[in-house]
Structure 1
Amino acid sequence: MSFDRRSVILLVVLTIAWGVNWPIMKLGVAHFPAMGFRLLCMAGGVLALGLALRVRGEPLRVPPGQWPTVVRLALFNMVVWHLLAICAVKMLSSGRAAILGYTMPIWAVVWGLVLYRERIGAAAWTGIACALTGTVLLLSGELAALAGSPAGTLLMLCAAAGWGLGTQMMKRSRIEMPVGVLTFWMLVVTLPFLLLGTLAFESGWRLPDAVEWGAIAYNAVVVFAYCHLVWFVLARSLPPVVSSLSVMFIPVVGVFSGMWLLGEQPHWQDYAAIVLMFAALASVLLVPLLRRRLREARSG
Structure 2
Amino acid sequence: MSLTNFSGRLSPLGLILLAVTSVGWGLNFPIMKHLLSEWPPLSSRGLCGIAGAAALALFALAWRQKLTVPRAMWLRLLLVSTLTIGGWVAFMGLALLWLNASEAAVLGISIPVWVAFLAWPILGERLSPLRAVALTVALAGIAVLIGGHGIDASVEKLPGIAFALAGAVCVGLGTVLTKHFPLAMPPLSLAAWQIGLGCVPIAIVGLAVEQPQLAALSSVGWASLVYMTLIQFCLCYVCWFAALERLPAATASIGTLLVPVIGVLAAAAMLHEPLGLREIAALVFTLGGVAVALRS
Tell whether the structures are fold-level matches, with TM greater than 0.5.
yes
RMSD: 2.9
Establish whether residue 35 from structure 1 lines up as the match of residue 42 from structure 2.
yes
Corresponding residue of 1:19: 26
Letter in 2 for 1:63: P
**Cα separation, partners in 2 of 1:204 and 1:178, compared to 1, 3 Å:** closer
**Cα separation, partners in 2 of 1:244 and 1:119, compared to 1, 3 Å:** farther
**Deviation by residue 1:252-292 (Cα, 9 ceiling, x = unmatched):** 3222210010112321233344544564465356x56xxxx
Q: Which moved more, 1:27-36 or 1:112-121?
A: 112-121
Letter in 1 for 2:236: C
Preserved CA contact (<8 Å) 1:43 1:191: yes
Corresponding residue of 1:295: none
- 2:159 and 2:147 map into 1 onto residues whose CA distance is 18
Establish whether residue 82 from structure 1 lines up as the match of residue 89 from structure 2.
yes
The counterpart of 2:265, out of the listed 256, 268, 272, is 256
TM-score normalized with structure 2 length: 0.82
- 1:142 and 1:214 map into 2 onto residues whose CA distance is 33
**Cα separation, partners in 2 of 1:142 and 1:12, compared to 1, 3 Å:** farther
Q: Which moved more, 1:128-137 or 1:46-55?
A: 128-137
Corresponding residue of 1:291: none
Query: Any unmatched runs of 5+ in structure 1?
Result: 289-300
**Cα separation, partners in 2 of 1:248 and 1:140, compared to 1, 3 Å:** farther
TM-score normalized with structure 1 length: 0.81
Letter in 1 for 2:74: W
Corresponding residue of 2:114: 107
Preserved CA contact (<8 Å) 1:106 1:128: yes
Letter in 1 for 2:85: M
Establish whether residue 69 from structure 1 lines up as the match of residue 76 from structure 2.
yes
- 1:274 and 1:138 map into 2 onto residues whose CA distance is 8
- 2:267 and 2:82 map into 1 onto residues whose CA distance is 29
**Cα separation, partners in 2 of 1:230 and 1:129, compared to 1, 3 Å:** farther
Corresponding residue of 2:229: 220
Preserved CA contact (<8 Å) 1:104 1:163: yes
**Deviation by residue 1:11-67 (Cα, 9 ceiling, x = unmatched):** 433322212110010111112121111123112212321221122122211123221
Letter in 1 for 2:67: L
Preserved CA contact (<8 Å) 2:267 2:273: yes
Count the aligned residue pairs. Answer: 282
Preserved CA contact (<8 Å) 1:131 1:245: no
Preserved CA contact (<8 Å) 1:105 1:244: no
**Cα separation, partners in 2 of 1:121 and 1:35, compared to 1, 3 Å:** same
**Deviation by residue 1:81-115 (Cα, 9 ceiling, x = unmatched):** 21121122123211122222332222222211233
- 2:171 and 2:285 map into 1 onto residues whose CA distance is 23
- 1:277 and 1:148 map into 2 onto residues whose CA distance is 22
Corresponding residue of 1:191: 199
Preserved CA contact (<8 Å) 1:44 1:217: no
- 2:169 and 2:142 map into 1 onto residues whose CA distance is 15
Letter in 1 for 2:162: L
Preserved CA contact (<8 Å) 1:105 1:248: no
Letter in 1 for 2:275: P
The counterpart of 1:94, out of the listed 75, 96, 101, is 101
For 1:106-255, what aligned pairs fall within 5 Å after superposition? 106-143=113-150, 144-207=152-215, 208-228=217-237, 238=249, 247-255=256-264
Percent identity reads 27
- 1:226 and 1:140 map into 2 onto residues whose CA distance is 36
Shift of 1:249: 4.1
